[in-house]
Amino acid sequence: MRKGVPALLRLLDEYQIKASFCISLGPDSSVYPFGKSLPGWIRKRLPAPYIGHNQRDLLLAIESAGHDVGLASYSPLEWRINSAFQSPEWVRKEIAQAVDSFIDLMDRAPRFYGALDFQTNASLFNEEESIGLDFASDVRGRNAFLPELQGVQSSCPQIPTTLPKLDELLLEPDINHENLHQFLYAECQRVLPNGEIFTLSAEREGGELISVFEKLLIMWKGGQWEIRSLSDLLEQIDVSQLKYHSIGWKQVVGTGQFVAMQSSPAE
């Protein structure tokens, strides 16, 4: 947050690009070595820094630069590990804490939400609809749609990520830091209804991979493509014409991780 976000802001400003930031504001247990391997009851008892603590100026700087500022999960590590199997009560509390923290810092309600690592469940879609978000970006897919999962339908539009993450591409044997941008750029040659959506992180693309991200920006700008934030994209989508699609799960190649994925149209 403190290092990666300012670095991304400087880069985006240099290339005159507007983006969408999904911010976690709660405790970050990942500061502990092997934090993911610790039992949940131990993680909850360990003191953890709050990501949003003293970050009001940074959040306002994102917004004043013309970028979208929305929500990610309140407790990022817990969401990544547990959210797919949690109860409606757990999800409701997680989202309520995130919303309350956002309002405290920004003096307004959030307009959108993005699920970390594309981990989601039916309760999240319920919460996004009930708090009246304009849209969400929780899953992988090909075009904007309305989500359906385990019998739950939500009227909150999903704008799914269409492109692989850079860390995922690096798992492939022929890809390295030097040619990574070329492989991601090659993925962008499709014609999709709403264009391509790319997801990055302040931790990686705002740090070790920032030079790779800059190469991508140069190639995208050189291709005369229009690069915009998700809220700008939403204005070009006729939400009244969106169809319900089921949500499935897909394993990321080279990992044991499963991510939520736009599936077939719901009947």
Q: What is the per-residue pLDDT across 63-97, written as a single tens digit (0 to 9) for each?
A: 999 999 999 999 988 898 888 889 999 999 999 99
Q: What is the mean pLDDT of the chain?
A: 92
**Residue 240 pLDDT class (50, 70, 90 cuts):** very high
CATH of the domain at 38: 3.20.20.370
Reduced to 3 states, what is the DSSP secondary structure of residue 71? strand
Assigned token pair, 121? 């469940």
Nearest to 48 by CA among 91, 21, 5, 78: 78
* Number of domains within the chain: 1
Alpha helix (H) ranges present in 84-209?
Answer: 88-106, 122-130, 166-169, 180-186
> Tell me, what's the pLDDT at 35?
57
pLDDT more than 70, % of the chain? 93
Phi-psi domain of 150 (left: phi exceeds 0; alpha: psi -120 through 50; beta: other): left
Max CA-CA distance within the chain?
Answer: 51
Q: What is the per-residue pLDDT across 177-228, written as a single tens digit (0 to 9) for each?
A: 999 999 999 999 888 999 999 999 999 999 999 999 999 999 999 887 899 9
DSSP string, 192-240: -TT-------TTIIIIITHHHHHHHHHHHHHTT-----HHHHHTTS-GG
Q: What is the mean pLDDT of residues 150-160?
A: 96
Whether residue 34 has pLDDT greater than 60? no
Assigned token pair, 37? 């391997």
Domain span holding position 102: 4-265
> Tell me, what's the pLDDT at 36?
61
pLDDT more than 90, % of the chain? 78
DSSP string, 10-23: HHHHHTT---EEEE
> Tell me, what's the pLDDT at 182?
95
**Cα–Cα distance list, 78 to 86, 167, 171 (Å):** 10, 21, 24
What single-letter DSSP state applies at residue 183? Answer: H
Reduced to 3 states, what is the DSSP secondary structure of residue 164? coil
